[in-house]
Amino acid sequence: MQTIAQGVRGLRLVWTLNGDWMLTVSIIAGALAFGAWVAGS
């Protein structure tokens, strides 16, 4: 749960710095990475 909370905090920081498109890219990349991790484990 802590990792998820840190990820959310990181996404908020990215959104503040770069705006909506960067947040969207981050979410997509995170979802793909998470899917790959689940598939690999």
Residue numbers of the domain that contains 29 = 2-40
Distance of CA 7 to the CA centre of its chain: 6
**Residues 26, 11 contacting (CB under 8 angstroms):** yes
User: What single string gives the DSSP state of each residue in the chain?
Assistant: -HHHHHHHHHHHHHHHHH-HHHHHHHHHHHHHHHHHHHHH-
Provide, rounded to the nearest whole percent, the portion of the chain with pLDDT above 90: 24
Lowest mean pLDDT among 12-16, 25-29, 32-36: 12-16
Name the residue with higher pLDDT: 15 or 26.
26
Please count the structural domains in the chain. Answer: 1
Query: Is 21 a residue whose pLDDT tops 70?
Result: yes
Q: What is the mean pLDDT of the chain?
A: 81
